[in-house]
Each structure stands twice: as structure tokens, then as C-alpha cells.
Amino acid sequence: MISRAQNQKDNSNSEMTESNQANVKHLSSIEQKELPFYEVILRSTAFWILVILVILTAIFGYLTPNNVFIKPETLFTIGLNASQILILAVGATILLASKNMDLSIGTNLILTSTLAAKVLKIVAGTPQEIMSGSYPNLTNAVIAAIGASIIFGGLFGMINGLIVTKLKMEAFIASLATMMIYWGISLVITQGASEVGIPRALQLGFGHKKLFDLIPYPLIVALIISGVMWLVMRFTKFGLYTCAIGSSAESAERSGIRTDLYIISIFALVGVLAGIAGFFDLARFATTNPQGHQTDGLMAITAAVMGGTSLKGGRASIPGAMLGALIPTIIQTGLVILGVGAFYQMIATGFFLVIAVYLDKKRYAGYLD
Amino acid sequence: MNICKVDDQIAIEVKGIKKNYGHLQALRGVDLKVVKGEIVALIGDNGAGKSTLAKIICGAIQKSEGELYFWGEKTDVQSINHAHKIGVFTVYQDLSLAPDLPVSDNLFLGREIMRNGFLGKLGVLDRKTMRNESKKALAALGIGLKSISVDTRALSGGERQALAIAKAVTWANTALIMDEPTAALGARQSAIVYDTIRAASARGLAVLVISHDIPKMVSFADRIVVLRHGCVVASLEAKKTTLQEVLNFMLGGRGENKDD
């Protein structure tokens, strides 16, 4: 200790203060990277997606007869139609932030909604009662169905997390496999047929219900869930750890974070979101849709990436994903009203994905300069 | 546990440490002491066992034989996390920071400050306090970042390494272990790192540096420990030794090597 103190005194005390000053000067140069507020906005992908959305809405508003497209009712219907992909896109964003992905959320949704429908019907009453359209235990049945959606959705999500962490597989491969497995199981269970006998009360009480006769309930729930997830990602330890794991799993591990546990939890959480989106199917259409939703996992990733979240992990833009999720629905609805084939929606979405990611890369490169 | 032998000056003591990889003997009975506040440079040719020794002390690998003492207390370090609990932290080249996180989030990663009360129970971070504490912690080490909320990615290599050391120093209370802390850095960047290491030792941390930059170690460290073929061949007081002497011990010759 004494030798150190002497050494320091002898050799490097003056040198040290000198170079410390140089440090301060040198390090503060990075301060330039902190941008004024408007510049932050201009550089955010979410902002440009919003601009695209406004332009698209204006174009469709101008083109559609009587400007019907920009009537509040139409816009809220678009919101209603987008409510499921909204939730899924938020989930995809959280997973991407952790440098994972889940292609299986679409088929998780199908399987979960199928199982939830079975649970609902079992609890609601005897098959005879249901055939005749009476549901003696309706309230309990609905609660059980919501519970089943959350539990099964979470479980199927968690399975992906377990494969990724315990079997050390890429999330892409793991969820590709479960995507097929979940869809296969739901087809085996349903023989490809939609579930019938779901009480209409579910539509009247939630799926078709509107606040102030204007804002659809499912959209409100989707927005609340997205908002909560945004707060979680931005302000909590869970959000920080998710981004830390995505940014550098090794450093997260070395900082004492139990990364496997977190990754499993993130997959389970996103599974729960898929399960809730699956319940929306029951509530909105009073049926399941085993033939739809297979590509929802990809669409959710599309929305997240358009919104500025990259596959490289470490970052999440939930507002961006929410806006990105609206693009396909807006184009589709606009084209339908115009009487143009809705398939063009996919072509347009593909183009927007390329443009959005290109802009994002340029922005990112500028940021790194 | 040898409580009666507790020593408040010797932060790390290594006694007769051996490490075998199959038939290969990486360490053949190493003895080493690092005193509180001392900077010890671990020097040796490739394969001399420097990194193996450092990894055993920081819990990354297990020793085959021998004893480890921290503050005079015999301890078998089980894991990196266990070493953290003892206050021994290792700085990894670029691996201990998440590039996408702001500086303050990185500094506190794994040991966040939570908000008081209900919000804290919900897992809400107290980022304001974390930022303020980060500023203080970095300033205390002579790292004068004016902006603490910039992403770590935006820092230069030397700044990142200084931050990685700062992170370890902030949480360490026994020792700091560094394997080639300036390997990828230029002179200016290295200077930042060496200043941070110096500040760490001034706080009373035992510092163990593995480096190939032998001339720098002779002027920078307090003591030079030379390893060769898994044994300590010399422990030299840096002020009283010369580069030539260190090189001779390291390469095993006496006066046959060119002076540089």
C-alpha cells in the first residue's frame, strides 16, 4: 500500500491530473449526440410511420365515396379490426427487444381460442342446453374462457422459451416448429372446422360493444394492454432486463441477471398476449378461426420492424409497433371500400416494410457516426 | 474457515494453486498475494497460466488443488456470482456492457435502484437517482461524462472500457481483475483506462492486471509477478526492477535477450 502511494506520488500524480482533464474534455465530446427534442422526433421511425399513416388515411379519405373512409365510425372499425394484430405486434416487439422472436403466436392464438371455446362450452352447460342456445352458467363460463386463454396462451408461449433456453435453439427454429405443432394440434382437435355454439352474449357484451356508441371495447382493451406494456418496457426492471438481454446476453448474465428465467418469462408473457388476442376471436365472431391467423406471427414482426424495432435486439419501440400494426389494416380497409382487391394490401405492406427498414438503417448509421 | 487469521490488508492470497486440464498442467502450484490498494501486473508468455489464474480467482473456473483466501479467510469461489458477493469483480473486454443501454443503466445493471413504495414493488426503476449516482461514481473515477443518458454504443473504445471498469469498481470492495484491459485500444484510449485503474486502487481495491504491455506495466504497476510454465518465477517491486530483468524472467534466459 505504501509502495503504491509513493509510486503514485513520485511518478504519476501530475501526469494523472493532466490526463484526467484531457479525459473530461475528450469524453464530453459525445455530448453532441444528445439531440434537441424535434430532432429526436424527426429521427424516430414511429414518427415517419405516423406520417405514412396520415398520408394513407388522407388518400383513402379523398378517394372513397363521400369521404367515408375518414368518418370516425370507419376509423374506429379499422381500430377494431387491428386490435388483435396490435396486441400481437406489441408482443413481437418485446421479444425482438430480447433478441428473440415467436413465429408461433398466430397458431398459438388459434389453438388457445379453440381450447378456450371448449372450456367455455363445458362450463356453460350441457351439450343439449348449448344446442338449444341456453347457457345456464354463462358468467362462470366466460370467466373460465378468459382464464383458459391466458393460461394456455402463456403455456404455449413458455414452451418456446423453454426450447430456446434449455435446448439452446434459435428462437426462429423453435417457434417455427411450435408454429406447426400448435396449428396441427388445433386442426386435429377441430378437423379444420370453426367452433360453433359460442354464446352471442359474448359479442353483445364485449366483441360488438362500443363505448359511447363509437369506440369498440376490444380496441380499448388492446390499447390499454399496449399502453401497459409500453410503460413496463420503458420504466421497469423487466423492460430494462429485456433490452439488456437483447443487447448483450453475455453482459446481462455477467451482471447477475438470470437470463434464462427472463427469456422464458418474456415468451410466456407474449404467449399470454396471443391468448388474449385469441379470446377476441371468440368475442368478436362467436367462433374460432382455425384457417386464419397462421401468418399472424410474421405480420406482428412486420409491424414491430416497421415501427423501428430491429432484429438485432436491445431496443423496443412499442408506439412504433402499434402504428406499424395499423398500416396493413388501413390499406386493406381502404381497398375494400374502393372495391379494389384486398390482396394488394400484402404487396403494399411488403413495400412499406422495405422502405421502413431502409430508413431505419440510414437513421441508425447516422446515429453511429 | 480460519477466522483467527483474518487479515485486513491482504485482499487476495493464493496458496499452492494447481490446475490440470487432463494431462496438461496449466498451473503447478502458484503462490500470490495482492495487498489492499496494490496494482499487481501478471506477466508471462502465452500459455504461462496468467488467464487461468485470473479465472480461478474470479470464479469462472475451479482450481484443481490449492487454497484461496480473501481478507485472510479461506474461500472456495464457486462461481462468478459468488466472487461478486466476496467483492471480486472482473472486467471483460467489451463483454460486460450492453451497447444499447444508456451509460447509467449499464452501470447499475443487475443492481438497479427502485422507486420507493408501491411503484418500486411494481418494478419501476428510479432512473433519476441512478443517473445522479452514475455521475458521481464516474466523476469519482475521473471519468467526466457530461451526458449520462447517451447510449453506451456511442462511446469510444477507451470510454467503454473505462465504463466497464467503473462498473466493476462501483460494486467491488475487494479486488478488480483485468485481462488485457487495453488490448484493443490506442494510446490515448489506454490512458483513460489506466487512470481509471489507478483511481480504483486509490480506493483500496486490490488490482490484478494481465497485460502484454510489459514496458507500461513496469512503469504503471506496483509489483510485477512473472509466470512461466504455470509457476511464479519472480515477484518484483516495479520501482526496483527493469524491463530487461522482467523479460529475462519471463523468457527464462539471463542477459541473453536483446534490450528494447
In whole angstroms, give the CA distance from residue A129 to residue A135. 7
β-strand pairing of B39-44 with B65-70: unpaired
In whole angstroms, give the CA distance from residue B26 to residue B229. 7
Residue B169 has a pLDDT of: 82
Q: Which residue did the predictor score with more confidence, B113 or A342? A: B113
Percent of chain A, pLDDT > 70? 88
In whole angstroms, give the CA distance from residue A108 to residue A155. 10
As a whole number, the mean pLDDT across chain A is 82
Residue A152 has a pLDDT of: 95
Cα torsion A170, A175, A181, A185 to 10°: value is 150
In degrees, to the nearest 5, what angle opens at C-alpha B28 toward C-alphas B22 and B33?
A: 135
Does residue A55 fall inside a structural domain? no
pLDDT at B202 over 60: yes
Residue listed under C-alpha cell 456492457: B97
Partners of residue B28 on adjacent β-strands: B18
pLDDT at A109 over 90: yes
Residue B146 has a pLDDT of: 60
Residues of chain A numbered 271-290 and touching chain B (CB < 8 Å): none
C-alpha cell at A366: 447516422
Rounded to an integer, what is the distance from CA A237 to the centroid of its chain? 19
Closest residue on chain A to B192 (Cα):
A23
Residues of chain A numbered 185-214 and touching chain B (CB < 8 Å): none
pLDDT at A367 over 80: no
Residue A272 has a pLDDT of: 96
As a whole number, the mean pLDDT across chain B is 81
Cβ <8 Å between A368 and B239:
no
Reported ipTM exceeds the 0.90 cut: no
Confidence of residue A154 (pLDDT cuts 50, 70, 90): very high
Q: Are the C-beta atoms of B152 and B101 separated by less than 8 Å?
A: yes
Q: What is the mean pLDDT of residues B117-140?
A: 83
pLDDT at A20 over 50: no
Q: Are the C-beta atoms of B23 and B33 separated by less than 8 Å?
A: no
Q: For residue B122, list chain A residues with Cβ-Cβ distance below 8 A.
A: 236
Q: Which residue did the predictor score with more confidence, B122 or A229? A: A229
Per-residue pLDDT of B143-179, as tens digits, reads: 766 677 788 888 777 778 778 888 888 888 888 888 8
Per-residue pLDDT of B209-253, as tens digits, reads: 888 888 888 888 888 888 888 888 888 887 888 888 888 888 875
pLDDT at A7 over 50: no
**Number of A–B residue contacts, CB under 8 Å:** 143
CA dist B186 → B96, B177, B191, B260 (Å): 20, 21, 9, 20
In whole angstroms, give the CA distance from residue B207 to residue B172. 11
Q: Burial, B235: exposed, middle or buried (Cβ in 10 Å; 0-12, 13-18, 19+)?
A: middle
In whole angstroms, give the CA distance from residue B191 to residue B249. 27
In degrees, to the nearest 5, what angle opens at C-alpha A282 toward C-alphas A281 and A284?
A: 65
Q: Are the C-beta atoms of A307 and A324 separated by less than 8 Å?
A: yes
Does residue A35 fall inside a structural domain? no
Cβ <8 Å between A257 and B201:
no
pLDDT at A2 over 50: no
Measured between CB atoms, does A243 come within 8 Å of chain B? yes
pLDDT at A251 over 70: yes
pLDDT at A215 over 90: no
Q: Are the C-beta atoms of A119 and A148 separated by less than 8 Å?
A: yes
DSSP string covering B219-231? HH-SEEEEEETTE
Per-residue pLDDT of B177-188, as tens digits, reads: 888 887 777 777
Q: Which residue did the predictor score with more confidence, B91 or A22? A: B91
pLDDT at B204 over 90: no
Q: Are the C-beta atoms of B129 and B216 separated by less than 8 Å?
A: no
Q: What is the mean pLDDT of residues B12-28?
A: 85
Neighbours of B259 (CB within 10 A): 8
Residue A227 has a pLDDT of: 94
Residue B56 has a pLDDT of: 86
Domain B3-96+172-251 part of CATH 1.20.120.530: no
Cβ <8 Å between B149 and A33:
no
Q: Which residue did the predictor score with more confidence, B36 or A361? A: B36
Does residue A366 fall inside a structural domain? no
Per-residue pLDDT of A266-307, as tens digits, reads: 999 999 999 999 998 888 887 888 778 888 888 899 889 888
Cβ <8 Å between A237 and B188:
no
- Measure A306 CA to nearest chain B CA, in Å: 19
pLDDT at A131 over 80: no
Residue listed under C-alpha cell 426462429: A172
Cβ <8 Å between A314 and B192:
no
Residue B256 has a pLDDT of: 43
In eight-state DSSP terms, residue A9 is I
Cβ <8 Å between B100 and A3:
no
In whole angstroms, give the CA distance from residue A199 to residue A185. 24
The beta-carbon neighbor of A314 closest among B99, B114, B149 is B99
Domain of residue A306: give its range: 87-320
Measured between CB atoms, does A35 come within 8 Å of chain B? no
Mutate to test the interface with A, among B112, B194, B222, B235 (most CBs of A within 10 A): B222
In whole angstroms, give the CA distance from residue A187 to residue A183. 6
Cβ <8 Å between A368 and B95:
no
pLDDT at A361 over 80: no
Q: Of A71-80, A148-157, B77-86, B135-144, give the lowest mean pLDDT range.
A: B135-144
Partners of residue B20 on adjacent β-strands: B25
Crossing angle (nearest 10°) for helices A217-235 and A72-97? 30
Closest C-alpha to A106, from A275, A227, A219: A275
Confidence of residue A231 (pLDDT cuts 50, 70, 90): very high
Residues of chain B numbered 195-214 and touching chain A (CB < 8 Å): 195, 198, 201-202
The DSSP element (H or E) to which B235 belongs, if any, is strand B231-237
pLDDT at B200 over 70: yes
Residue A136 has a pLDDT of: 74
Region for A111 from its dihedrals, namely left if φ exceeds 0, alpha if ψ lies in -120 to 50, beta otherwise: alpha
pLDDT at B82 over 90: no
Residue B8 has a pLDDT of: 66
Cβ neighbours of residue A285 closer than 8 Å, sequence gap 6 or more: A203, A207
Counts of helices then strands in chain A (DSSP H, E): 17, 2
Per domain, the residue ranges of chain B are: 3-96+172-251
